[in-house]
Amino acid sequence: MTEATSGTVVDKTGIWEDFVDIFVQPRAVFERRRDGQFGLALLLLVLISAILFFALRNGLAPIMDAEMSKQAAAMAANNQNLTAEQLAGAKSAMEKFAMFGSVIFVPIGVLITGVLLWVAGRIFDAKVAFAAAMMISTYSQIPKIAEMVVSAVQGLFLQPEAITSRYSVSIGIARFLDPDANPVLLTIAGGLDLFTIWLFVLLAIGLSVVARVPLARAGIAAAAVWIVTILPALFGAIRQG
């Protein structure tokens, strides 16, 4: 006796196909993952990010050194009483924290983005379940893997003096600004690089597919998420300026 068919086609596309397809046909990925399952994808994203971070640390090191030196200089400017030993200790602490950043920051970033997308979806009439918002957030972060590779390659081949901060290797207008330019301008420009825009475009596509709303409406919600995520850095830049 043959098995009765219910008319429901079970999508057996593997997680690896999702990680490839998100670059070329993201709508298909979000369509087949509308059930909101994201745990395995998030775990894989964290593992790949951590492995790449340690595998590419020689290329990423000049970027991190430049960024930490910039932060140390800002600390010294804001507090004239800091000694050289205290600054060295702060830099050492930042280096140790950066080692775990590839593991810690990825799930935190996914969570924050997922929460904001869920809230923005409700505000702009593009409601999705929280699990679905987390799924969209998880898959939208995948191009950040490519960003890490691109940054590391530049860190290996650029002259050390050419790397003054993370903006020096960004694929955007911040790369061409003076490193001593207005901090607010740098922050806004830094939030408009290729990979950040890519992330929020994927958020819009995912929200449009899952919530069954026009892409324009989902894009407004994604833009609102971008504004909220950049606010902390913007406030810091205003204080610094």
pLDDT tens sequence across 192-239: 999 999 999 999 999 999 999 999 999 999 999 999 999 998 888 787
Q: Residue 4 has what pLDDT?
A: 40
| Average pLDDT value for residue range 170-174 | 92
| Average pLDDT value for residue range 144-161 | 93
Q: How far apart are the first and last CA of the chain?
A: 76
Above 50 in pLDDT, residue 11?
yes
Above 90 in pLDDT, residue 48?
yes
Degrees to nearest 5, angle at CA 180 with 148 and 197: 35
The residue with tokens 């957030």 is: 137
Higher pLDDT, 79 or 20: 20
Q: What is the pTM of this model?
A: 0.85
Q: Residue 10 has what pLDDT?
A: 44
| Average pLDDT value for residue range 23-43 | 95
| Average pLDDT value for residue range 130-146 | 96
Q: Residue 64 has what pLDDT?
A: 86
Tokens of 198: 């890519």
| Average pLDDT value for residue range 151-167 | 90
Q: Residue 103 has what pLDDT?
A: 75
136-140, 171-175, 237-241, range with greatest mean pLDDT? 136-140
Instruction: Name the least confident of 5-14, 33-42, 113-122.
Output: 5-14
pLDDT in tens, 49-90: 999 998 998 999 888 888 777 776 666 666 656 666 766 666
Q: Residue 74 has what pLDDT?
A: 65
From the list 65, 87, 60, the residue with the least C-alpha distance to 74 is: 87
Across all residues in the chain, what is the average pLDDT? 86
| Average pLDDT value for residue range 121-139 | 97
